[in-house]
Amino acid sequence: MKSPKRTKARFAICVNNGEYPAALELHKVYRVLPDKEAEQDGDLRVVDESGEDYLYPAECFVSVELPSKTARALSASFSSATS
């Protein structure tokens, strides 16, 4: 039996929080959750300052490719913060 495919952690940096100053911190790295439908509509599903995931316009972010070690460390820190 095949094991489920693990999706690579994705991250983005906020470059525009003008409409969402309470929810998004400018220049902060955010975890992006997979949501193909949202992306087709020009949005990203991001875990914001509330700790919940919401849709925001993709233009508010720049996607970043992080080194594997950094992505693993960030993913682990997000997991421990929600435990």
Type of residue at 25: E
| Whether 63 contacts 10, CB under 8 Å | yes
Q: Are 20 and 56 a contacting pair, CB within 8 Å?
A: yes
Query: In this predicted model, what pLDDT tens digit does every residue of 53-81 receive, in sequence order?
Result: 999 999 999 999 988 898 889 888 877 76
Res. 6 pLDDT band, cuts 50 70 90? low
Does some domain include residue 67? yes
4 is a domain residue: no
In a domain, 14, yes or no: yes
Q: Give pLDDT tens digits for 13-39.
A: 999 999 999 999 999 999 999 999 999
Task: Say which CATH number the domain at 34 has.
Answer: 2.30.30
Say yes or no to pLDDT of 47 above 60. yes
Residues 52/69, Cβ–Cβ less than 8 Å: no
Q: Residue 61: which residues within 8 A CB-CB, separation 6 or more?
A: 12, 13, 14, 15, 30, 32, 44, 46
